[in-house]
Amino acid sequence: MKAAVLQLNSSANVGVNLSHAERLVGEAAWEGAKFVATPESTPYLGPKGGKVSLAEPLDGYICSRFAAMAREFEIYLLLGSFNESSSEVGKCYNTSVLFSPDGEIIAAYRKIHLFDVAVEGGPSVFESELVSPGRDLVVAEGVLGGLGMTICYDLRFGELFRKLVAGGARVITVPSAFTEQTGAAHWEVLLRARAIESQCYILAPAQFGPHADEQLTASYGHAMIIDPWGRVLSEVEAGEGFAIADLDLDLVDSVRAGMPLAAHRRI
């Protein structure tokens, strides 16, 4: 199956953000992608107060709009993440949602690891001020042979990826808004390491450029697709666009057969 990952520069304007995403999803589908993924915080990346005030349930407008895109283009579509309503007062979830070509929600993953970090020479971001952590690992069975779902900061926790593989993942999504400073140092290195360790394809849509968020002022970009041997198959080096590549699930099997990490692991 051909897959594509988008690179966006989301702002505080939900309508504009969704229009940009829809245009690129359509372009990727036109080029043959049957699976398309958008970045973290696709609908809104602005002042932090809006994250909670604009939060919606899974059956709200934003998910309905993405469901319609999936139906229109007849693709599997991953909304990298949006602010989902939470029962905890003053907070929301950072949630990734997977839609079928019929527009049905197949799976939803709530970000487990929250980015509470003061970056040297960069921003201080405290995601947990407004976001509740998720608790559940999510592998969508039957999609790309088993699709494991993560979001951004999860990338730094290799044990999460190992758990997803144990749960049947052969492809793992990492929709992100990495800071410029951490992205330049660690983004590609971590993505390739996770691909090699998990022996999975890694699909990493990304935000790029400056944002109106008081904490996350700019994102690194470099959306990319990596194969289970750790090779970068396609990358958006700058600006808005998408990376696209063919996913050969037989390669996952051959890499795992040639280097059977699961059988060799000693706990």
Is the pLDDT score of 123 beyond 90? Answer: no
- Residue 118: per-residue pLDDT: 87
Token pair for residue 161? 């990826």
Is the pLDDT score of 217 beyond 90? Answer: no
- Residue 236: per-residue pLDDT: 98
Tens digit of pLDDT for each residue in 158-198? Answer: 999 999 999 999 999 999 999 999 999 999 999 999 999 99
CA 112 to centroid of chain Cα atoms: 13
- Residue 36: per-residue pLDDT: 98
Would residue 111 show up in a list of annotated catalytic residues for this protein? yes
SS3 39: coil
Could you give all domains of the chain from N- to C-terminal order, each with its CATH number? 2-264 (3.60.110.10)
Among 84, 91, 127, 152, which one carries the catalytic annotation? Answer: 152
The residue-averaged pLDDT of 153-160 equals 98
- Residue 5: per-residue pLDDT: 98
Would residue 152 show up in a list of annotated catalytic residues for this protein? yes
Token pair for residue 41? 């915080």
Among 84, 91, 111, 127, which one carries the catalytic annotation? Answer: 111
Tens digit of pLDDT for each residue in 32-77? Answer: 999 999 999 999 999 988 999 999 999 999 999 999 999 999 999 9
